[in-house]
Structure 1
Amino acid sequence: MDLIFRNVRIDDAQPLMDVAVRSGKIIEIAPHISAHAQQEIQGHGNVLIPGFVEGHLHLEKANVMHRKANRSGTLKEAIAVTAELKPTLTRDDILERSTQVLRALVQSGTTHVRAHAEFDPVQGFTGFDGVLELRDRLRDVIDIQVVAFPQEGILKLPGMQAMMVEAMEKGADVVGGIPYNDDSAHEHIDYVFNLAKRYGKDIDLHQDFADNADHMSIEYLARKTLEEGYQGRVCVGHLTSLGAVPPHKQREIIALIREAGISVMCLPATDLHLGARGDSHNVRRTLTPVRALRDGGVNVCLATNNIRNAFTPFGTGDLLNIAQLAIPACHLGGADDQATVLSMLTTSPAKALGLQDYGLAPGKAADLVLLDTRSVGDVILDLPARLMVLKRGKVVATSVCQRSVVF
């Protein structure tokens, strides 16, 4: 064995376990493993979980809020401010800030991230190329899926359809989209599906991001997903409009989303900050209905979206902070509800991202986090230190003596 964790908690209903790793894989999990390893780590009853999965993040736009502020706090101004800043962002600037974010993710126990990387005729591919570069450079530390994301739309911008094709040729992992920010949401969705089928890629859309239920296209997307046989290969982020739909209609849409196998990324930090800015009183939460989606059988996840920019002027990259925010905001504080939250940071986004080699089980990749808490049920409540983070069996971050990361 290369490494063995001794006496770690992986399930509150089971005794302490040993977990053995060899060649980047989990080889054995048992109450006592008689074999020895080059490195043996005494867990002292602390919790060991699979690495956190960040399902929706914008790397190249992070940490720029000090350059130009969003004074109104609205989505409209956030888009305008960001559009003004993007042409000024250089390759070195993007690499430096994105690396800062990725370092924070690794330190906090994230082993996989899906990054929505933008491009358009004004800024070109500077940000997108930077994220591709980091994906390749840091593949031994964190797995990065790169989404070809057209923030400014596709159909309404001359040259964007060709740029979408070029992004796929450059090596994008996923086809992105933003139906609500284009001339026709349905035609936008059709284009994204055609491109995804052409390159054999999954789809991830910014979907129905508004306070009200006007002009929603989630039903069209779900039916298109079924028609194209793309069940389990489509994700949506935001979907805040669904929270404004009357209960009977909401149940119908959720059933359709479940049938289509569409995963939903709730982005509470951004959506709480930007939403309901026009409400004068009794201000709405403006979040996708997490509990209704979960109870309706939809694969629902929690993710960060943006960090310290015009869309979200705060954040650290720690998914446990996002989970603590979601617990009151999404009414997940009840005992039964709390028990479902940790999976929204781990197994649920792993499913959404199509990670086949993920999980705390023999044969899976040793992407693991040792936490300074002795109860799995208390992981989110305790905000425990990440004592050790492993990527394919190699230690990539530790806080045992001094918080450090390998890059």
Structure 2
Amino acid sequence: MLIRNAQIRSESAGQLVDIRIDDGRITWIRPAGDAAVAGVDSQAHSGQGGRSSQSGEFGEVVDVAGKFVAPQLVESHIHLDYAFSAGTPRDNESGTLFEAIEIWRERKQLGLGTAEEVRAKAIAAARSAASHGVGFIRTHVDVTDPELVALGVLVDVKKEVADFCQIEIVAFPQNGMYAYPGGDELVERALREGADVVGAIPHLEPTREDGVASLKHAFDLAEKFGARVDVHCDEIDDEQSRFVEVMAAEATKRSMQGLTNVSHAVAMSYYTPGFMARLLPKMQAAQLSFSVCPNENLHLQGRGFSNPVPRGVAPVKQLVDFGLNVAFCQDSISDPWYPMGNGDLVRIIDTGLHVGHMLTPAYVDTCLDFATTNPAQTLGLSDYGIAEGKRANLVVFEAGSEREILQESAPVLLSINDGRTVFERPSMNPVWRL
């Protein structure tokens, strides 16, 4: 495949490039119209989608007519096994995190959600995300179930969607390692049966001591299985919930810098300046990554407060400006925690930059980092990005720049996974008659 006249992020802003793909990899990137491709018809007409295709010595030749080409997006925090479960067995009338957890507990006790239903909905959610350009997903899967039904389903789903999306599974004890009898053993069993990453939820454990113990056990398992750690950490409106400092300490103590991800970190938005001043260097030394879910936590957090109501979203700007790796994530697609969602990460980036007071050029003009290179670092995707030799996992947006993508909520016109076209869609731009 040859992608012609593409706009990519580079030092030569505004200069279009041609991208050649062979055997699923990017073999070269050169200025548009390079002599090496002079034999390709330069008069190809761009259709409604701002792109055209033809055959030639390069196989398929795609002219994207100045559209922005980015790596496939990376979703580093979602729950595919929960997808499209909102309203079963009942709606979350309070909209709170803890009612959602109770609803999920009831759902399991009632035996709702067959394996086939979970499979169909998980695939539908993965396809929805992929339709917005996502090519990599880290999904948390509830393993506080003696039968590990959802885990078995997602292990199979991982194989079923491999042609268009790479999935990584977190063994997530939704009801706690110790709050749920045998939860710690189930996490280990899940790792033996196909999970890739160790999860935990310390703020849900019976006591702080139990929460600390759950984190230590998570790191023990990570060392035992050679896995990364990804924890639902401090997702609570409580300034005293400070498990993130335990995560930083354990990661540093065990030489797991860069292998540890903090999901949500809601309580951090309530921490005092003095505590943050002490915490930030510790998190930086541990090379913690963060998966922040702005849409979901804006919905769940800050309830029960009198005005002014807190936002309850991690202080993203402060983290980024201190050099920490932050990704924006969907979290839920229509489940007891969040009744909306479709996997569109551009929408999530929009919310995250708004709530973080980050609508300035430094962030707007590099906004895709929050759904590409940053979460790719979280997942340890070394063979990722737009560069010669990298896997050809690319998307074409209906926009000419990252700022325009954000401004227009631009859709993905073309998605390519390992050099193969996943999908394409026509332009969404109106054709004016008057």
Q: Which TM-score tier does this pair reach, normalised by the shorter chain?
A: over 0.9
Query: Does the aligned pair in 2 maintain the 1:294–1:300 contact within 8 Å?
Result: yes
Give the C-alpha shift of residue 14 in structure 1: 4.1
Match of 1:62 in 2: 83
Give the C-alpha shift of residue 202 in structure 1: 0.5
Map 1:81-160 → 2, pairs under 5 A: 81-86=103-108, 87-121=111-145, 124-160=147-183
Partners of 1:197 and 1:134 lie apart in 2 by 27
Q: Secondary structure at the match of 1:193?
A: helix
Query: Does the aligned pair in 2 maintain the 1:49–1:368 contact within 8 Å?
Result: yes
Q: Secondary structure at the match of 1:231?
A: coil
Q: Which moved more, 1:233-242 or 1:337-346?
A: 337-346
Q: Please tell me whether residue 44 in structure 1 is matched to residue 68 in structure 2.
A: no
**Equivalent of 1:255 in 261, 273, 281:** 281
Match of 1:15 in 2: 15
Partners of 2:125 and 2:145 lie apart in 1 by 26
Partners of 2:25 and 2:219 lie apart in 1 by 35
Partners of 1:100 and 1:222 lie apart in 2 by 36
Q: Which moved more, 1:49-58 or 1:23-32?
A: 23-32
Q: 2:201 is aligned with what amino acid?
A: I
Match of 1:296 in 2: 322
Partners of 1:388 and 1:340 lie apart in 2 by 20
For the pair shown, which has the larger CA radius of gyration, 1 or 2?
2
Partners of 2:166 and 2:313 lie apart in 1 by 28
Partners of 2:219 and 2:25 lie apart in 1 by 35
Unaligned 5+ segments in structure 2 are 38-56, 429-434
Q: Secondary structure at the match of 1:177?
A: coil
Map 1:268-307 → 2, pairs under 5 A: 268-307=294-333
Give the C-alpha shift of residue 161 in structure 1: 2.6
Q: 2:26 is aligned with what amino acid?
A: I
Partners of 1:375 and 1:109 lie apart in 2 by 16
Q: TM-score under structure 1 normalisation?
A: 0.95
Q: Which moved more, 1:264-273 or 1:369-378?
A: 369-378
Q: 2:16 is aligned with what amino acid?
A: L
Give the C-alpha shift of residue 248 in structure 1: 2.8
Identity of matched residues, %: 29
Query: Does the aligned pair in 2 maintain the 1:4–1:39 contact within 8 Å?
Result: yes
**Equivalent of 1:182 in 174, 188, 205:** 205
Match of 1:236 in 2: 262
Partners of 1:272 and 1:155 lie apart in 2 by 28
Match of 2:27 in 1: 27
**Equivalent of 1:325 in 347, 351, 354:** 351
Give the C-alpha shift of residue 313 in structure 1: 1.1
Query: Does the aligned pair in 2 maintain the 1:53–1:345 contact within 8 Å?
Result: yes
Give the C-alpha shift of residue 11 in structure 1: 2.5
Give the C-alpha shift of residue 384 in structure 1: 1.4
Query: Does the aligned pair in 2 maintain the 1:6–1:42 contact within 8 Å?
Result: yes
Match of 2:50 in 1: none
Query: Does the aligned pair in 2 maintain the 1:369–1:386 contact within 8 Å?
Result: yes
Partners of 1:326 and 1:215 lie apart in 2 by 22
Q: Please tell me whether residue 195 in structure 1 is matched to residue 221 in structure 2.
A: yes
Give the C-alpha shift of residue 65 in structure 1: 1.3
Please list the CA deviations of residues 380-403 of structure 1 after superposition, one character each: whole Å capped at 9, or x if unmatched: 22211211101111001111389x
Please list the CA deviations of residues 32-73 of structure 1 after superposition, one character each: whole Å capped at 9, or x if unmatched: 352441000001111100011000000011112132211011
Partners of 2:69 and 2:224 lie apart in 1 by 40
Q: Secondary structure at the match of 2:81?
A: coil
Query: Against the structure 1 CA distance between its residues 6 and 193, is the aligned structure 2 distance closer, same or farther, given a 3 Å change threshold?
Result: same
Q: RMSD of the TM alignment (CA)?
A: 1.5
Q: Please tell me whether residue 364 in structure 1 is matched to residue 390 in structure 2.
A: yes
Q: Which moved more, 1:14-23 or 1:379-388?
A: 379-388
Query: Does the aligned pair in 1 maintain the 2:87–2:336 contact within 8 Å?
Result: no
Match of 1:4 in 2: 2
Unaligned 5+ segments in structure 1 are 403-407
Query: Does the aligned pair in 1 maintain the 2:16–2:66 contact within 8 Å?
Result: yes
Query: Does the aligned pair in 1 maintain the 2:413–2:427 contact within 8 Å?
Result: no
Report the count of equivalent residues: 399
Q: 2:218 is aligned with what amino acid?
A: V
Please list the CA deviations of residues 134-176 of structure 1 after superposition, one character each: whole Å capped at 9, or x if unmatched: 1112112100001111111112333223222221111211111
Q: Which moved more, 1:138-147 or 1:157-166?
A: 157-166
